[in-house]
C-alpha cells in the first residue's frame, strides 16, 4: 500500500500560507528541499506500484481477452491519475509532522 492511500489529501491546488512552511525548519528554503525530496520519494513509490500492476498485463501473444485486459489497464491507469499529486501529499505530510528529516550540517554545529 502506498503512502498516498493512507492520507486524505485534497486532489486540487490549495492556497497555503508560506509562514506555515518554515515553522519546523526555521528556513523556507530548507522546508522546500525537504518537501521536494519527499515528493520525489512518493512519485517513485507510485510509479513502481503502477508499473508492477501493469506488468501483470504484459503479454507477447494476441488473444481475444485483450479487450477486457485493456479495460482493466485503463481503469488502473485512471485510478492512478486521480490520486493526489506527490507534491500535495508531501506538503500535507510535512505540515502534519509525518516526515522525518535531518540536516547533517546543523547536526555538526
CB 56 within 8 A of CB 19: no
- The per-residue pLDDT for range 10-27, each reduced to its tens digit, is 777 778 888 889 899 999
Per-residue pLDDT of the chain (109 residues; tens, 9 = 90+): 344 455 567 777 778 888 889 899 999 999 999 999 999 999 999 999 999 988 887 765 555 555 556 788 888 889 999 999 999 999 999 999 999 988 887 777 6
Give the pLDDT of residue 104.
Answer: 81
Residue 11 within a domain: no
CA 51 remoteness from chain centre: 15
Q: Does residue 77 belong to any structural domain of this protein?
A: yes
Q: Looking at residue 32, what is its pLDDT?
A: 95
In a domain, 56, yes or no: yes
- E strand or H helix that includes residue 105: helix 104-107
Note whether residue 50 is domain-resident: yes
| Per-residue DSSP letter, 13 | -
- Judge whether 90 and 4 are in contact, CB under 8 Å: no
Per DSSP, 85 falls in state: P
Domain count, the chain: 1
Domain extent at residue 23: 16-99
The alpha-carbon radius of gyration of the chain (Å, integer) is 19
Amino acid at each position: 500500500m502506498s503512502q498516498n492511500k493512507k492520507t486524505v489529501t485534497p486532489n486540487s491546488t490549495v492556497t497555503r500560507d508560506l509562514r506555515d512552511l518554515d515553522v519546523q525548519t526555521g528556513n523556507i528554503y530548507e522546508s522546500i528541499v525537504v518537501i521536494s525530496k519527499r515528493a520525489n520519494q512518493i512519485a517513485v513509490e507510485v510509479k513502481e506500484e503502477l508499473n508492477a500492476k501493469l506488468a501483470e498485463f504484459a503479454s507477447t501473444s494476441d488473444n481475444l481477452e485483450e479487450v477486457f485486459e485493456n479495460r482493466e489497464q485503463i481503469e488502473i491507469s485512471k485510478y492512478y491519475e486521480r490520486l493526489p499529486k506527490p507534491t500535495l501529499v508531501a506538503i500535507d505530510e510535512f505540515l502534519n509532522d509525518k516526515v522525518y528529516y535531518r540536516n547533517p550540517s546543523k547536526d555538526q554545529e
